[in-house]
Structure 1
Amino acid sequence: MKLKITCLLFISLLFICFTHVLAQPLSKKTVFTHADTLRGSNGPGRNWWDVTKYDLHVKFNIEDSTISGFNNIAFKVLNSGEKIQVDLQEPLLIDSIYLSYSITKGTGRSEKIEKFTREGNAYFIRDMHLDRGTHGVLTVYYHGKPTIAVRPPWDGGLIWTKDKSNSPWVSIACQGLGASVWYPCKDIQSDEPDSAEMHITCPDTLVCVGNGRLRGKIINGDGTATYDWAVVNPINNYCIIPYIGKYVHFGEIFKGEKGDLTMDYWVLDSNLDKAKKQFQDAPRMMKTFEYWFGPYPFYEDGYKLVDAPHLGMEHQSATAYGNGYQNGYHGTDLSGSGWGLKWDFIIVHESGHEWFGNNITSKDLADMWIHESFTNYSETLFTEYYYGKAAADAYVIGTRKRIVNDVPTIAPYGVNKEGSGDMYYKGGNMLHTIRQAINNDDLFRNILRGLNKIFYHQTVTTKQIENYISTQSKIDFSKVFDQYLRTTQIPVLEYKQNGYQLQYRYTNCVAGFKLPLKIIFKGQRWIKPSEVWQTLNLYPEGDNTFSVDPNFYINTKKVD
């Protein structure tokens, strides 16, 4: 009996783990502080200046798990302002700050900032008096022993570990927690630098891999080497990540919609043979997503998969891979349909973020469904592309058992909070439902491609995405988005059946909810339910059983 109880407990914990396997680390917080507002809002220390480039120089000291360096933060002044907020999380410390700037019609200046103050994880420089049109560079020197991730990638921070051969292996995972956990920056999603450089110094026995292109390597002569990586496209702060370890490289050229795309693979030397086999899913992924979403958004920076000391993350042009070189999610099909074992979950899911998350980025963490719902649905689209629509339907419907409906998918704004982990499975099923209602796969595909074209390299709000889908489909989905993103209620179609007569209405829904439905009742047909009872009369002959197409994520209830 004890063994049986132990097994049941283990199975329950395993289910909970997989149910929340992709949930973000900040989703459970309900009480907000001044620090949350400083971190999550576009306040007076942020809203008047725009970051144009990060030029980051950091030395990783593996012996004592410390880092030191500086960041050149290039910016332009949008409106006159006096206070600048620079974010750097404790226990890291800013040593000094220098400001150089030029005015459009004037001479340049350079000065050391003699006074700055700290409020928790935010530093403030006051009395700046910079006019609109000014271009400047803040050079921020810092050092310290950064927060160590306990359970990456869900718990953010630095990862200091060793590979199987006992060689050092270092990286970072900081989505949600923020890039300021390891470098000083303007840590808000709405302001992406237009480009970025990383100059990473590490032991010369190791290799550093970063975002974009490798521009050079310098042997410093003191047992260290400095690797210079650069991206020429806009990039979100949390996506700027180095990987340090015993890396080797192989690659290929993908003939894509915009020409030749370099696809590079950086793996630990011990994983080379496995990677050459498993990473065959990468060009398959690229072919699928260019079909559905449009051209890969970062041809200039290339595409990379990089062995990571954690499960995975969508680091732009340098996707973190830690799935153990097996199909599914660590060998498990999250849908239970069997189709999830036909492909490598991390290659497909994390790469899908290059379009939704990296190309199109939510301005506020509260709108992370834009990243995760579309990317979750990319798994279904990948399955459909290679295994057919029936397989894809089975996959997405199978994931519904992981929806918990605990809190709304969209969280409060301005406090650096993510909504429910349902942004994955519920969000994917919402998009699948919207696709059914559109009832035109060519149009649906054009909407997905249109999103990536219209909002190319932009930060966006939920309303922008909602309005685009409604406008392009010519169906008002506003109440559908309200239902699935802003409540935990799943709409119920109540129905009464009397032979050839069917009565139906929506309940458990927001006011004005009118999702069209495909039903099976004496054949397939469409109905347009509302909160008011409606009646469908048909000839009494034939099969009078009733059901709703299971591809619609709703519940049904027969009433007297």
Structure 2
Amino acid sequence: MDQRTSVRRTACAAGLALLLLTASTACTGGVEGTPGAAGLRDPYFPKLGNGGYDVTHYDLALDVDPAAHRLRGTATITARATQDLSSFNLDLAGLTVQSATVEGRPAAVNRAGRELTLRPDAEVESRLRKGRTFRTVVRYSGSPQTLTDPDESEEGWLRTADGSVALGEPTGSMAWFPGNNHPSDKASYDITVTVPKGLTAVSNGELTSRSASGTTTTYHWHIAEPMASYLATVAIGRFDTKTSTTPDGIEVFTAADPAVAADSAGILDRVPEIVEWEAERFGPYPFSATGAIVGRPGDAEYALETQSRPFFPGPPDAGLLVHEMAHQWFGDSVTPESWRDMWLNEGFATYAEWLWEEDQEGNPVQKRFDAAFDDDENWAFPPADPPTAADISQAPVYEGGAMVIHRIRQAVDDDKRFFALVRGWTKAYRHGNASTADFTAYVEKTTGQDLTELWNTWLYGGSRPDSKD
């Protein structure tokens, strides 16, 4: 081949490539999509969550047979693309995917561990442009898993004496539905659960319908306000339930296992009182429903602030109920941007316990602060910088975080202004996400004070200061 022939052929090949590229981009509106990220690089769980889209609504239809430990589910996920997408990921652990569609057309599904990659066909890909809303339907089934956290606690789908309970902090929701499993992506939910007759399925939000058909009963729960996936729950079993309303018209739904119902009745009757007490201090209750789920001791190793309806493994005392209800403001409504911001949840909820003890039992907050200061466990690491994922639920995040809140209160030096600051915080980030940087900037702007020394000493300091002052 001489040089002129080579040049002519190269030119023809380039022209053909340009023609094909032009045709391809013409079919897709002139823009080629790229894959959404498989993970949001959370400081402690880098593979958790997914990039390229924002979920606005989950519609979960579950058929559960607790005796056989089987779940069959259909997840309809409505999302908005935040980039031009060629494919995207969902988090799902263990369960088998039967099929998936995007915008009504079959999508290819690839799986690598807990990551599902969905690749829509060419016709649908042309519609997955930044800012566009799209709908994904995933059908799946299997035996849902119990997952083990870095701190060795169990979450995900937990089996109970007569059913099961789903608890998701920090990663467990992927055990029972596919989704964008990171606190930064909140959505509204419809959760419909079909269970064998005689069992009850309790979830978040409001019970909109209950219907029996043959040997099964179906419960439909609706959560209008945005919810992070780790706060979603389903508790299945035999429950004594009670429905009422608070003086402000908020629906109260409580459910207690019959084995502990009598011992739970008194504390559950205090839910409206505690909601009202916390609303005075933290601002209006952020959801249309409230309540609690009380299982048997041993159903789980911990209580959890599942949105609008915290779960307790056995009857809680007043302090624990106050703590989990305070999370409805701190964690559920104002949700951490990443798991590094966990102290914002637990510090405020722990401080709520201190406030309650002062109001109800006459135990001064300062006394609780002093005890926390003297406890060596609370100084193992800074509240805002746990060293590993196993540490995000340890003492410095809870009591260390509460000490930070008390030091802010002391810096403000005026209770009226302090509680106005707290109510302003829950209002400013209501139903949203917030980081530690958002909080410190908000406090300094609101107080007009430079609190660098407070943050460096109490929030980020690596050791106990010489003085409590």
TM-score by length of 1: 0.70
Structure 1 position 254 matched with structure 2 position 252:
no
For 1:409 and 1:392, the matched residues in 2 are separated by 19
Shift of 1:226: 1.6
1:532 paired residue number: none
Is the 2:39–2:50 contact (alpha carbons within 8 Å) kept by the matching residues of 1?
no
Identify the residue that residue 192 of structure 1 maps to in structure 2: 186
> Cα gap change, 1:153/1:169 in structure 2, threshold over 3 Å: closer, same or farther?
farther
| Map of 1:205 onto structure 2 | 198
Secondary structure at the counterpart of residue 312 of structure 1: coil
Stretches of structure 2 that go unaligned for 5 or more consecutive residues are: 1-37
Counterpart in 2 of 1:154? 153
Letter in 2 for 1:306: I
Aligned counterpart, 1:267: 256
Contact kept in structure 1, 2:40 and 2:51, CA below 8 Å: no
2:310 to 319, 330, 333: 319
1:371 is displaced (CA, Å) by 0.8
Q: Which residue of structure 1 lines up, in the alignment, with residue 441 of structure 2? A: 467
From 135, 138, 147, the counterpart of 1:137: 135
In the aligned structure 2, how far is the partner of 1:416 from the partner of 1:324?
27
- Which residue in the other structure is 1:98 paired with? 101
* Number of corresponding residues: 420
Is 1:428 aligned with 2:427?
Answer: no
SS of 2:320's equivalent in the other structure is: helix
Provide the secondary structure at the position in 1 that maps to 2:86: coil
The question of 1:220 aligning with 2:220 is answered: no
Residue by residue over 1:164-198, the C-alpha shift from the partner in whole angstroms, topping out at 9 and shown as x without a partner, is: xxxx13102220123112210111111101x1011
Matched residue type, 2:213: N
Distance (Å, rounded) in 2 between the aligned partners of 1:232 and 1:216: 15
**1:142/1:214 Cα in 2 relative to 1: closer, same or farther (>3 Å)?**
same
Q: Classify the secondary structure of the residue corresponding to 1:57.
A: strand
- Counterpart of 2:334 in structure 1 is 360
Task: Assess if the C-alpha contact under 8 Å between 1:153 and 1:174 holds in 2.
Answer: no
Correspondence for 1:335 = none
The percent identity for this pair of structures is: 22
Do 1:313 and 1:320's aligned partners in 2 also have CA atoms closer than 8 Å? yes
1:388-467 mapped onto 2 (5 Å cutoff): 388=362, 391-400=364-373, 401=375, 403-411=377-385, 418=392, 420-467=394-441
Counterpart of 1:60?
64
Q: Distance in 2 between matches of 1:417 and 1:119?
A: 27
Q: CA deviation at 1:412?
A: 7.8
Any residues of structure 2 matched to 1:448-527 within 5 Å, and which? 448-493=422-467
1:326-405 equivalences in 2 (<5 Å): 327=317, 344-388=318-362, 391-400=364-373, 401=375, 403-405=377-379
Equivalent residue number for residue 305 of structure 1? 292
* SS of 2:383 mapped into structure 1: coil
Preserved CA contact (<8 Å) 1:293 1:452: yes
Q: Does 1:241 align with 2:233?
A: yes
Give the Cα separation in 1 of the matches to 2:233 and 2:152: 13
Residue pair 2:82, 2:130 contacting (<8 A) in 1 also: yes
Over the aligned positions, Cα root-mean-square deviation in angstroms equals: 2.8
Answer whether contact 1:37 1:414 (CA < 8 A) is retained: no
Give the Cα separation in 2 of the matches to 1:36 and 1:178: 17
- Structure 1 spans left out of the alignment, 5+ residues: 1-33, 101-109, 163-167, 328-343, 494-549, 553-560
Shift in Å, 1:200: 0.8
Find the counterpart in structure 2 of residue 277 from structure 1.
Answer: 266
Is the 1:288–1:385 contact (alpha carbons within 8 Å) kept by the matching residues of 2? no
